[in-house]
Amino acid sequence: MTADYVVLNRTGDKMPLRGFGVWKIPKDACEETVYNAIKVGYRHFDGACDYGNEVEVGRGIKKAIDEGLVKREDLFIVTKLWNTFHNKKHVRPLCERQLKDWGLDYFDLYHVHFPIPLAYVDPSEKYPPEWFKKGKDAIELEASPMHECWAEMEKLVQDGLVRNIGVCNFNCQALIDLLTYAKIKPAVLQIELHPYLPQENLCKWVKAQGIHITAYSSFGPASYVTLGEHGKQAPSLLDHDIVNSVANKHKVSAGQVLLRWALDREFAVIPKSQNEQRMKDNFNILDIKLDSEDNKALDSLKSFNLRFNDPKVWFDLPLFA
């Protein structure tokens, strides 16, 4: 059994390593799914403005609190500032809207979702704004520098709307720039991480800065197949012979192996599932022990070097090039 949390810089808050993500969970299933996840034992929930289901996720949390399953302080709630709200005028209003949507007084961790300042979209016109303005088919950037955006993120901390702030999908260069002016450095970096894309050099450097890591897309292309051919360029990690060989050896599922691989590297994980048994399987990973032979086999998959959440593919924006 390993530690079940990491301690965040500055606040000392404990972030559970076993989290539950809500991306692509339909609105009509969200309340019950989140409620069931809390019953299973999840305490770390990861959402975003862009997911379009924050109201429904909040209802699931409220239901669990109202029934006495948990208290608010038992939960670690994470959400994200979307790209169209990077301007210093829009950071706080969005956060306040999200708090209202979740039915919360504060977030435990609030991320900048991407280092991409998209042109502002009024929520009354389109919410969530997604990547394109209404009627457009290409992204439009605006002059909203990250140093101004981050200063507003820090004010959210100072004013008690959020306890910790972090970033998602930042590469080393973007982080170096942010660290030159940040008065509150990011507590967490959330990035795509799995055996196809372990990002070892970035992770080593980030940890050396005292920044913790949350891994998303732990199952590789599984969530991206429906988004086009890009998600089909390699076998699903859940179906891969190497992953299943390790799973069979330990009498666990392929998903459990992939999540355990991440925990062994002290990454928080945020898998999602609407199936209660898979929720339980994804949660019950602390006692799995991968040995050096297992890790050698799984590490061999990095030769694929495959990224699935890539703006270059969707919008011809080479963010990670």
Task: Point out the catalytic residue in the list 51, 110, 196, 216.
Answer: 51
- DSSP summary character for residue 31: H
Give the integer Cα–Cα distance in Å for 242 and 261: 13
* Residues across the chain: 321
> For residue 91, what are the contacts with CB-CB under 8 A and spacing of at least 6?
81, 85, 149, 152, 153, 155, 156
Rounded to an integer, what is the distance from CA 220 to the centroid of its chain? 14
Cα gap 307→178, rounded to integer Å: 24
Rounded Cα–Cα distance for residues 101 and 119 (Å): 23
Task: Confirm or deny that 113 is annotated as ligand binding.
Answer: yes
Sequential DSSP letters for 170-197: --HHHHHHHHHH-SS--SEEEEE-BTTB
Q: How far is CA 27 from CA 53, 208, 262, 309, in A?
A: 6, 39, 29, 22
Residue in this structure with the two tokens 């913790």, named with its chain if needed: 212
Query: For this structure, is 51 an active site residue?
Result: yes
Which alpha helices (DSSP H) does the chain contain, by range? Answer: 27-40, 54-66, 91-102, 146-158, 172-181, 200-208, 241-250, 254-263, 276-283, 292-299, 311-315
DSSP code string of 73-115: GG-EEEEEE-GGG-STTTHHHHHHHHHHHHT-S-EEEEEE--S
* Residues in the annotated binding site: 113
* Residues in the annotated binding site for substrate: 113
> Which residues belong to the active site?
51
